[in-house]
Structure 1
């Protein structure tokens, strides 16, 4: 599927109108609910298929970040055949007490998988934690990079971000119905 068509479908699925209270306390008439496209199995499958080309060839494990990266990494793993890990923001204090569940990341080349990136802050934090656990990480992939002009925190952390879509890809087809 063409990127423009994929962006249009994501926009149609996730763009909501109404009255929405933002974390900042402001009220807005529009809202982008990323979980709506992640919860659509056919659309998520098409997104993952399109993301395969973004995954570096030397990747051994895909690591999806809690929470939105989990459905994306699962679908992407299915398309690439690579094992995946599910990365928490903090290690559990019970059970396995692991930060990353699923595939082992120690001593492996890991690519971070996220749904939507704005500043890259959570990618940087999770990368630091996974590197401490023995992973080698130099790349991250995402469905949407909300702010493609500010990769500085990622670059400073030694990461290259590969995005499938930008906001322009989502809104360029909104008038097409």
Structure 2
């Protein structure tokens, strides 16, 4: 399946209209309900397959951000063969008490994986915490970039954003 067809499938599965307040605080009249494409195993598998060529050479660990990045990174790990880390918004005070569960990130080249990027705030916050734990991060990968300043926010923190699709891909 080509990217245009995949984009159409994602759009049909997850595009909603109405009034939605985004994590960034922006109110939008269009919304991509990421859980609708993440909960469809056939569609999620096709998305992961399309993301594999976008994984930079030298990537050692895929890091999925809670909560939406977790299904994407798990499917991408299956297709790429790369180990995954599951990144919490904050470390829990019990169990392993770790921010990143799964694959070891310290001293490794880590690719942050997210589902939909708006302003990029959660990627920046999580990346700062992962870097403090020894992860080497210079890139992030997402399924959809809403093109509302996320790439610029990330660039200011030394992170290059690559997206499978952008908001402009859905404007036809």
Same fold per TM (> 0.5)? yes
Matched, 1:101 2:101: yes
SS in 2 for 1:67: coil
Aligned partners of 2:162, 2:16: CA distance in 1, in Å?
26
Structure 2: runs of 5 or more not aligned: none
Shift of 1:163: 0.3
> Which residue of structure 1 aligns with residue 74 of structure 2?
74
> Which residue of structure 1 aligns with residue 47 of structure 2?
47
Aligned partners of 1:170, 1:74: CA distance in 2, in Å?
25
TM-score (norm 2): 0.91
The answer to whether the 8 Å contact 1:111/1:137 transfers is yes
TM-score (norm 1): 0.89
Shift of 1:153: 1.8
Extract structure 1 runs of 4+ deviating beyond 6 A: none
Aligned partners of 1:115, 1:130: CA distance in 2, in Å?
18
Larger RCO (CA within 8 A; separation ≥ 6): 1
> Which residue of structure 2 aligns with residue 175 of structure 1?
none
> Which residue of structure 2 aligns with residue 61 of structure 1?
61
CA displacement 1:111-138 (0-9 Å, x = unmatched): 0000000111111111100000000001
Cα–Cα, structure 1 residues 169 and 82, in superposed 2: closer, same or farther, change >3 Å? Answer: same
* Structure with max Cα Rg: 1
Aligned partners of 1:149, 1:122: CA distance in 2, in Å?
13
The answer to whether the 8 Å contact 1:87/1:100 transfers is yes
> Which residue of structure 2 aligns with residue 139 of structure 1?
139
Shift of 1:169: 1.6
CA displacement 1:44-95 (0-9 Å, x = unmatched): 0000000011111100000000010000000000010000000001011111
Shift of 1:16: 3.2
